Structure 1
């Protein structure tokens, strides 16, 4: 930006020189963050006139302040114009990412968990969903704010921060997590096609792969098209499950009590509550959310960053609230049906081991064929949306860790995600849907800490986000709950393996060989987590300008320039 002012009279040269020195000092203070350079030139004639020239040029070291490989920032004039727009229009401009993120909480894996929770514990674990979604909102808001402040998404920051062997290890784990998250989507879609159109399971798997690739082509028209797809899928699932809920007509008093009164009663209530809570934080969602916010032009002023973060927070909270209602509806459907004391033996047997497949049979026996078809449509939307969202997030993960161009990523990443998922689902088949979903949940729980810890480290780094650092209480709550989740996962990994080893029918020699391989692996897993937790963040990320005095000085020069233009017009 160049601003020049010509005056008919001699300007106050000393004042102008002082202003120039102030601007230079401000820019030198921000120089370590790569925010740019400022040159101030003041020339004064004895009586013939004077000239003031202030030049501000963005630095280009590793990406300018306000422009990264992913995000672009408004200049001052453009941002000022946007602030004059009505608040609701500015909010709608930021709406969309939260709905695409929320698809992960309505995938077939979560649907199966909700169905089993309702059939086993009625409405008593709804409070776990309620408080779990609050935690999800906190974590996802940290991911979104990280992208807004740095102009880079989580995968790019990991690529810049960690040594070569660490960042490629993280990349491998995240890709494994994306594939594991895609598997339930493919399974759910194939089951839905089988229930609705009687298509063989393997045929449904192939259709899911083809339709996912077809939907992903919409990203060529912008991220908002993909976000619209998320809204459509959520609307379909909400409509279907609420229609089935209207047939059930659960007692609302008990449902509300289950939402707000924590209770753990009955067999396996504690372990089931832990399973519900742990399944809500999905690794690839942290990368996806920090990427989607970059599809908007990011602000360059402190107030603009604050407003943008608030808009994304409200939008995400609204989307999560809708998804929470859908999850409550799913739990209430099976909770009401299976709690009926007048059920026949066949239905009681179905409730005791409820799966995605048997739920269709349960609804058909209780409410008729139409209810089963509505459930099948909801399952189709759940599975297809899961496959699309996970494949889409896989593109950002691959782009951030590899640095490849987007045109190449658009081709490679979906195939890298979908093809292994199709092979796994085709080999497993319909009889093993429940086992495959459980295995995918275990893999996601295994991968989660390696996405969660970098996010919390970057969000807690004062050197990186000091002008916009998060509230200490929010960060502490996020760390505490994340530590609890990671501790629970490690505990279940170890105890489950030891229990399997003790009760297995393998020979002692084979058990010894397996133990020799697995226990060092667990030790390496824990050591890697300790490394990520205690490693000091050293990456330097250019931040938007935060100097209030510098903004005032530039605005003062801009006003002087306007006065000169008025004089010239006269």
Structure 2
């Protein structure tokens, strides 16, 4: 799919200046543009993948030293950053191709109708310049592959969360069956009842829910990784802390702004009787307040529990051996000198 859209991008040749302007200057126009932007944010980041990326660092052979652990984190940062950069390029190419094709002056009547209601179900016509009649088939295969990829990452993230946080273990086939049923059953019901338009709308709603859930994964992760009592010498630098919190608060602010303004706008302009509006407001406004208060609680909650223990600090020889990743004079490290958490060290990895 990336190759097809990159090829289509070279064919339609969108204006480079407008592409760069759209990448760095936010500009939301049209009905539902803000909702689509929030949905895109949730679909790209996905709160459960924050746990998955953190857990996958432990899947490497990690040297027992500060320098070794920092190297492992840096290498995985490069890997995940590269994959997100490729995803960013694909999104840019999709948006650029669709904008260029749909703004062309020589469109047929069918293409104009498809551009006016551009969804996953109708976007395959954008690739006709590169793939011709096979564009719909290749596009369907790419959508299936992306769905499988998303399901696999969700299953892995669920395993780490269930085993790491809840100590909940189950057979692999049972976990896969439960995860797939929970993921597929609602989508299947909506697709049967609402058709392709209902399924497309469900994707937007589900992605928006993921965006609204981001603070509950992002804030604890930022606070944990920036705490010296939790991470010791591996905590985030001041630059990463500042940039991360600015981006995180920006995401939270956008979600809260959209949630409040869109509901108030809907409440004012719907055709319900005043009694119905009052009842819905009494029900929804407290839920919105609970959401905002919970986010504020996570942000300002203080955690003074020390979990990082560094007993070798007062033993220079042992500290130098550990820093270099070497054993002590007897050839082994003494377990009581290694700063690790037993409850975290025994989490089994996905097979």
Show the 5 A alignment for 1:407-418: 408=170, 410-418=172-180
Q: Hey, what does 1:528 align to over in structure 2?
A: 294
Q: Hey, what does 1:421 align to over in structure 2?
A: 183
Structure 2 residue 85 is the aligned partner of structure 1 residue 321: yes
Show the 5 A alignment for 1:309-458: 309-361=73-125, 363=127, 368-405=132-169, 408=170, 410-429=172-191, 430-431=195-196, 432-458=198-224
* SS of the residue 1:402 aligns to: coil
Q: 1:492 aligns with which of 238, 244, 258?
A: 258
Is 1:300–1:544's contact at 8 Å kept on the other side of the alignment?
no
Is 2:4–2:127's contact at 8 Å kept on the other side of the alignment?
no
Q: Hey, what does 2:340 align to over in structure 1?
A: none
- State the distance in 1 between where 2:232 and 2:327 align: 29
Change (3 A) 1:252 1:551: farther
Q: Which has the larger radius of gyration?
A: 1
Q: Hey, what does 2:238 align to over in structure 1?
A: 472
* Greater CA drift, 254-263 or 392-401: 254-263
- State the distance in 2 between where 1:252 and 1:545 align: 60
Is 2:14–2:96's contact at 8 Å kept on the other side of the alignment?
no
What does the per-residue CA deviation read over 1:233-286, in whole Å, with 9 as the maximum and x for residues that have no partner? Answer: xxxx4334334445x342473476347653638556973656545653210011
Change (3 A) 1:550 1:424: same
- State the distance in 2 between where 1:523 and 1:399 align: 32
- The answer for unaligned runs of 5 or more in structure 1 is 1-236, 563-570
Following superposition, the deviation at residue 316 of structure 1 comes to 2.0
Change (3 A) 1:449 1:462: same
| Alignment size in residue pairs | 322
* SS of the residue 1:357 aligns to: coil
Is 1:241–1:326's contact at 8 Å kept on the other side of the alignment?
yes
Is 2:42–2:208's contact at 8 Å kept on the other side of the alignment?
no
- State the distance in 1 between where 2:32 and 2:209 align: 23
Q: Hey, what does 2:65 align to over in structure 1?
A: 301
Change (3 A) 1:543 1:498: same
Q: Hey, what does 1:122 align to over in structure 2?
A: none
* Greater CA drift, 251-260 or 297-306: 251-260
Is 2:51–2:161's contact at 8 Å kept on the other side of the alignment?
yes
* SS of the residue 2:44 aligns to: coil
Q: Hey, what does 2:267 align to over in structure 1?
A: 501
Q: Hey, what does 2:16 align to over in structure 1?
A: 253
Is 2:6–2:93's contact at 8 Å kept on the other side of the alignment?
yes
Is 1:338–1:351's contact at 8 Å kept on the other side of the alignment?
yes
Structure 2 residue 303 is the aligned partner of structure 1 residue 549: no
- State the distance in 2 between where 1:453 and 1:499 align: 29
- State the distance in 2 between where 1:325 and 1:251 align: 14
- State the distance in 2 between where 1:415 and 1:291 align: 22
- State the distance in 2 between where 1:409 and 1:333 align: 45
If the length of structure 1 is used for normalisation, what is the TM-score? 0.51
If the length of structure 2 is used for normalisation, what is the TM-score? 0.80
* SS of the residue 2:118 aligns to: coil
Q: Hey, what does 1:206 align to over in structure 2?
A: none
- State the distance in 2 between where 1:330 and 1:474 align: 30
Is 2:124–2:136's contact at 8 Å kept on the other side of the alignment?
yes
Considering fraction of residues, name the structure with more strand: 1
* SS of the residue 1:328 aligns to: helix
Show the 5 A alignment for 1:117-266: 237-245=1-9, 248-251=11-14, 253-254=16-17, 257-258=20-21, 261-262=24-25, 264=27
* SS of the residue 1:340 aligns to: coil
- State the distance in 1 between where 2:32 and 2:284 align: 29
- State the distance in 2 between where 1:305 and 1:336 align: 46
Change (3 A) 1:296 1:501: same
Is 1:461–1:537's contact at 8 Å kept on the other side of the alignment?
no
